[in-house]
Amino acid sequence: MLSPVILDPILRAALDEDLRGGDLTTEACVAPEATARAEAVARQELVVCGGAVFARVFELFDPRCVVEACLADGVVAAAGSVVWRVRGPAQSLLMAERVALNFTQRMSGIATLARRFALAAQGARVTDTRKTTPGLRVLERYAVRTGGAHNHRDNLGAAVMIKDNHIVAAGGIALAVERARARAPHTSRIEVEVKSLAELAEALAARADIVMLDNMDTPTVAEATARCRAVGRPPVGPLVEVSGGITLDRIPELVLAGVDVISIGALTHSAPAADIALDLYDA
């Protein structure tokens, strides 16, 4: 799922950024012939994510490094658990350490947060959004899936999603949907973002395939969902997605309101990095 073809350009750029000027400390203090082993340890409970990234960073930097995965991606690691081990030239372990941890701490943090939302949303699908770190979307979306949640559209060409600014620019919901239906591939569904029950009525009249209820309070979400169900359940009626201001505490009430999808930008843009440390030992 994360092949070297995808990973290598990202990881090489990160290594170049960190090591463009060399490593003054390691090169001064550590003998080139010294070898060592190291353990990546979870300092908190977390969902493991990024094993292939961790291994590939060390492999790219120095093929003599050997990495062992102690816990697979998707496993919940208790605080104190050894997640990965690596052995090889001590200089190489020290030089590649931060890049390997930066990626895996970020990915494990996203996976951990995604797991919390996914577990709370039994009966509804939790998805991410395109609010990702530029250049790192493929890693962050993988982390979301590892945590048990799902991905929304991958890029602007993946689906028709008519948002508020599209509606303004097109001259209204009906006209925007009509134009999208005339131009979009037959394989693409049409989603319309609505901010009120009046806009929902327009989207239903235009026969949108998916309606996104944006920044609505829970009673309004429940009413909007009921109106969609009156048209019919998918594929007769629209799929109901809710987004905007979604907190973990709101998930059960949104599920109770009957929505199909809950999209949460915070899964990627606000997930705290997981605490993982690399402890070095003599070989």
User: Residues 37, 85, 125, 131: which is the catalytic one?
Assistant: 131
User: Residues 193, 209, 241, 260: which is the catalytic one?
Assistant: 193
What is the Cα–Cα distance from 208 to 178, expressed in whole angstroms?
A: 10
What is the Cα–Cα distance from 162 to 208, expressed in whole angstroms?
A: 10
Sheet holding 35-42, edge to edge: 66-69, 82-89, 35-42, 276-282
DSSP assigned state of 271:
P
Query: Any catalytic annotation for residue 250?
Result: no
User: Residues 98, 116, 137, 195: which is the catalytic one?
Assistant: 98
Query: Any catalytic annotation for residue 223?
Result: no
Residues 211/240, Cβ–Cβ less than 8 Å: yes
SS3 content of the chain, % helix, strand, coil (to 5): 45, 20, 35
Query: Any catalytic annotation for residue 195?
Result: no
Query: Any catalytic annotation for residue 179?
Result: no
Cα torsion angle, 158, 251, 231, 200, sign:
negative
Query: Any catalytic annotation for residue 27?
Result: no
User: Residues 163, 179, 195, 250: which is the catalytic one?
Assistant: 163
125-127 and 261-263: which strand pairing?
Answer: parallel
Cβ count near 150 (within 10 Å): 15
Which residues participate in catalysis according to the annotation? 98, 131, 163, 193, 214
